Amino acid sequence: MTTIFLTATGTEIGKTLVARGLIRALRTKGRVVEALKPVVSGFDPHEAEGSDPGLLLSTLGQPITPDGIARTSPFRFTAPVSPHLAARREGKKIDFNAIVELCRWRMQAATGVLLIEGVGGVMAPLDEHRTVVDWMIALGQPVILITGSYLGALSHTYSAVDVLERRNLNITSLIVNETAGSTVPFSDTVESIRTFCSNLDIQGLPWLANGNLDHPVFDHLAEQL
């Protein structure tokens, strides 16, 4: 059994895209794979098919049912804001310990590769005291970090890498997912990140490949597992 935690420098960067591509590559190779995205904000039950858990289920070849959604993402909130704020708007609090225990239980029960997708960025708050990085520390599993190529991505990427490395989390790959309409050339961003993060496996995912779950980058990630 192998567990990988997918995180990002921020929200809407491409965590679910990379998770889906990796699922597709693993399934093509005949590997058993499961996916879990425990916390979701901005979830609309009327648009379940296009939601993150819905997309994960469809890529896994599983039906998009209420039970499937609940199994994949048990902590779902309507507001498209930070998880702790989304929960607060509904008069709730995210139970950090419950999230960790759920992940540990799924890790123990998994018979193949388990992908755990985080929420927001590395430092997205889950409650008043803990963030996604605390969640990753509690699990202690290898991490795939996803970033973009927007103006400011370099600072966000280096900050995220620093946070993860200072906490002894193993970054197996850093994926640069090209940001559509960015004023910064994609190749410049990838080259700069490769220079500053030369100890990491850096992979560029061009915008033209966005949505293409057969891109070679995903095969590369699958071969590492």
Report the alpha-carbon distance of residue 192 to residue 174 in Å, rounded. 13
Report the alpha-carbon distance of residue 68 to residue 215 in Å, rounded. 27
Report the alpha-carbon distance of residue 91 to residue 87 in Å, rounded. 6
Instruction: Give me the numbers of helices (H) and strands (E) for the chain, helices first please.
Output: 9, 8
**Rounded to whole angstroms, what are the CA distances from 144 to 32, 84, 93?**
19, 23, 27
| Of 15, 29, 37, 92, catalytic | 37
Strands 143-147 and 113-117: unpaired
Can 37 be counted among the known catalytic residues? yes
- The residues that are catalytic are 37
